[in-house]
Amino acid sequence: MPNLLHLLSFGPEGWGDEILAGTWLTIRLALATLPFGLILGFFVSLTKRSEAAWLRFVGEAFSTIFRGLPELLTIFIVYFGASLGFQWVVRLFSDATVEISGFVAGVIALGVVFAAYASEVFTAAFNGIPKGQWEGGAAIGLRRWQTMRLIVFPQLMRLALPGLANLWLILLKDTSLVSVISINDLLRMTYQAVSYTKQPFFLYFVACMIYLLMSIVSSFGITAIERWAERGERVRTATTKPRDVMQEKAATS
């Protein structure tokens, strides 16, 4: 066992620094993908609720395609297809060679997959908000975007938060797929360590524990965010419940 732990030491004789660097890259990749996927998924959800038929078609097509394709295939398509597309555009103006980094390709690929699922979560959350909220905003003179920002969006995020939290945990695990495009994430660095040391069980077990630790820390953070988002609902429930009890007593007396 001491010899195995020596594999995790830092310096030229151990793989601890490489695994730590891969873990940090995995975290950065997930954190960079999250806002991109959230924003894109929100706008895709808006297109699916649009009054224009062609916008609804675009939103539904986006969601169906990227939920139907395997994530690994999406990564390959973005990594190689986007590089070819950018190279074709650049060659219209010069002979320069342009390559998309694996990190950017990973963010885009994981982001569009995240957005496809997030759009479904946002759509379900929109359906959970009564139409009277929009009508109430219009009644007090708010424009539609003001009603969205001040009234609908806070409720939307509260309703969508559980589903988005699950997607975040899935995203953390899906970051391991980018190792196939030579990104030195946690899984790829662990694979390199295994190839050199011939200790697959121990090193892959360490990688599993690191992914599990990231999920546990995320779960604590998600719980804190959910409590913060529910604070207004708890206050409203606490203030209205005694009134409801008094009304029931008055009705029975």
The domain locations on the chain are: 2-252
Q: Which two tokens stand for residue 159?
A: 């309703």
CATH numeric code, 2-252: 1.10.3720.10
| Amino acid 247: pLDDT | 55
pLDDT at site 136: 82
Question: What is the pLDDT at residue 198?
Answer: 86
Helix orientation angle between 16-48 and 53-68, rounded to the nearest 10 degrees: 150
Give the global pTM.
Answer: 0.84
How high is the mean pLDDT in each 10-residue block of the chain (253 residues)? 71 83 94 95 92 92 93 90 77 74 90 95 89 79 81 86 93 91 88 88 91 93 85 57 53 51
Looking at residue 245, its pLDDT comes to 47
The token pair at 235 is 């206050």
